[in-house]
Amino acid sequence: MRFVIGCAVFVLCCYFSVTVHAEAVVPGHPEFLPEKLDYGQYIADPRRARFGGGLLAGSGGELQFDTAIGGAFPFFNFKPGDPPFEKVQFAGSAVVLPRWDIHHDLDQVGANFRAGLSLSAMHGPWGWRLQLLHESDHLGDEFILRTGQRKRLAYLRQEIDLGASYFPYPDLRLYAEGSYGFSIGESNMAWKVQGGLEWEGGPRLPLGARLYGATDLQSYQEVHWNPDWTTQVGVVEWNVPRSRSLRIFAEYHLGHDPLGEFFYQGLNFCETGLALDF
């Protein structure tokens, strides 16, 4: 618990601290610790790295507190001297995604642990990302003690992701991604595909806040390609350089449980909460 509290304090300090602005990227020279993530995370992906929490209500009577401790952060930018890319960025992400059962004194149901390193490139409205991602998922100790149902599945994915995004309009983004798991658990299979779209309106709300909407579709070989669909709508507030945001959201998920230890089980749910991205 002290580790979780420490991570939360660290993330909050990073979010609200004053950022040192780097100079403009000079062609052929790197810019270390840039402020902004070029290839943005997929907003409606229930496993994306973020800091926040929400109340999850499942169609089977589940009532859980869904939390996330983590974020995505750029390490350096590099601007090639010649096309085809305007800028290349090396970045990382890390997040722990625990869920807590409100019906049973906030017993931990389980948690996903994800960490990745990525290399992205931007050119006009197009973006590309190559990512190395690790995911290992665990059952909560309280869940095991209370139910005595089973041992954990040891859900594990070490995968390579290749994604592309496109902005047909400044406020609309389309994306698609394919993944191959080169080191996986016994219950997993190698392939995964993902796609979606995101829309964000202008700063027409008080304090410059914006309405937004996003939908994400994922399909895993290990569940016979049956899709998981998540739609999220809400209000987002950005800082001035658009490197950090606060989202107040409501979402609906149709498909399998995002907790890896329960990946074979169906779980349809509604969730409302907030998320910090930086």
Angle at 271 between CA 267 and CA 238, to 5 degrees: 135
- DSSP 8-class letter at 229: E
- The pTM (predicted TM-score) of the whole model is 0.88
pLDDT score, position 19:
42
Looking at the 3D structure of the chain, how many domains does it have? 1
CATH number at residue 187: 2.40.160.40
pLDDT score, position 143:
83
Domain extent, residue 53, equals 2-277
C-beta separation of 159 from 180 below 8 A: yes
**Residues paired with 30 in a beta bridge:** 78
Per-residue pLDDT of the chain (278 residues; tens, 9 = 90+): 444 444 544 444 444 443 444 445 566 678 899 989 999 999 999 999 999 999 999 999 999 999 999 999 999 998 876 667 788 999 999 999 999 999 999 999 999 999 999 999 999 999 999 999 999 998 887 888 787 766 667 889 999 999 999 999 999 999 999 999 999 998 899 999 999 999 999 888 998 899 999 999 999 999 999 999 999 999 999 998 888 999 999 999 999 999 999 998 999 999 999 999 97
**Residue 178: φ, ψ to 5°:** -120, 145
Q: How far apart are CA 236 and CA 272, in angstroms?
A: 14
